[in-house]
Amino acid sequence: MPHSLQKLPLPSLAPGNSHFLQKHVFTGSGTDRSAYVHAGLHADETPGLLVVQHLLRLLHDLDQQGRLLGEVVVVPYANPIGMAQKIFGVLGGRFYLENGENFNRNFPCIAADFQQALGQQMFAKNDISAFKKAFQALLPVRPLDPVAATKWALLEEAFRHDIVLDLHCDTSGVVHIYAPCDQRQRAMALAGAVGARALVLESDVGGKPFDESYLLPWKALHSADLVDEAHQGFSCTIELRGQSDVNDATARRDALGIIDFLATEGLLMPDRPPQQTNLRDTDCYPTEGLLHVSSPATGLLVYHKQPGETVATGELLAEIVLLDADLDSARIPVLSEIDAVFLVQQNARLVRAGQRIALLAGKKPLAHRTKGALLMHF
């Protein structure tokens, strides 16, 4: 089937200024199931932008070979406004400079309205088409604010699809995935396909991020026994290592992993054996078990552990070198408070007291981590 390229204009930020979203549409001919993939919602997280370019080429080749069964829509950059935000040459694509809002927070959330609609409208079980139409009908009118309109457009598109993949990265780290805890097996298939070091299972994280805003109405349907797990919409966030991990070899492997996952979901017929996977149940962690480690002092950060390694409680994770201290002053140790896998470290090495310097994933929920408030604002 022919590939099409579409543009969606966004409201202007200023006279003479314009932005638009772009989407590639590959229409299969064997199933009504579909998938949506985008990258760069945090505009300074660039690995996904290259992964998408490789994914587009792979999808084109599969389409030409007649191996594409379902529709796949790809938005190669999800945040053109953020991509234009440079301060003294440095891209600041995580927050909207006008109001400081995180680009992956405060998406339109129809969960409450849809819960009410379930009591007023009769749905047949697994009537996926009717569900998707209901989701889109409950979206508010498209906002006039350019960033809010971008979020609206991304979610409106996502609601058309059965599988939604949001490509991100962290500062420096290993591949890990945030996925719904009630769809563990599908999430494990994806994590294995892309070679994730850890799968973080989440529920009710709060903050209205893109993936949860998509998932919540599906969860309401599942709770009402109106959709079974095989037909339920699936969305997750894939963290593709760190910001500087942008190279063709890695990006192609990641794109092939996404292709393998879409094949397991019946959207395409692969033209090669799937990549080897080695994710185990022991590599799954609750979101409540994530620990954001803060620097205990201001100084130079020296790591003694690297992302992907495991750490035990009390083990040395890093040290802070005090640059303004006496010659005989000792370094300040940063010890792990939990048994965990080291997921993320910071690129900055000159840090201040209280600054986040690491993300650890442990098996046990932490007392200070509560549902509905699991996302940081940074």
User: Two tokens at 234?
Assistant: 């699936």
Residue 73 · residue 33 · CB < 8 Å: no
Residue 241, Ramachandran bin (φ over 0: left; ψ between -120 and 50: alpha; else beta) = left
Per-residue pLDDT of the chain (378 residues; tens, 9 = 90+): 579 999 999 999 999 999 999 999 999 888 999 999 999 999 999 999 999 999 999 999 999 999 999 999 999 999 999 999 999 999 999 999 999 999 999 999 999 999 999 988 889 999 999 999 999 999 999 999 999 999 999 999 999 999 999 999 999 999 999 999 999 999 999 999 999 999 999 988 999 999 999 999 999 999 999 999 889 999 999 999 999 999 999 999 999 999 999 999 999 998 888 887 777 877 999 999 999 999 999 999 999 999 999 999 999 999 999 999 998 899 999 999 999 999 999 999 999 999 999 999 999 999 998 888 888 766
Q: Which residues contact 57 (CB under 8 A, 6 or more apart)?
A: none
Q: Are 37 and 55 in contact (CB under 8 A)?
A: yes
Q: Region of 85 please: left (phi>0), alpha (psi -120 to 50) or beta.
A: beta
Of the candidates 335, 332, 324, the residue with the CA atom closest to the CA atom of residue 301: 332
Residue 71 to residue 60: CA distance in whole angstroms = 12
pTM of the full structure: 0.97
DSSP states along 301-328: EEESS-TT-EE-TT-EEEEEE-TTS-TT
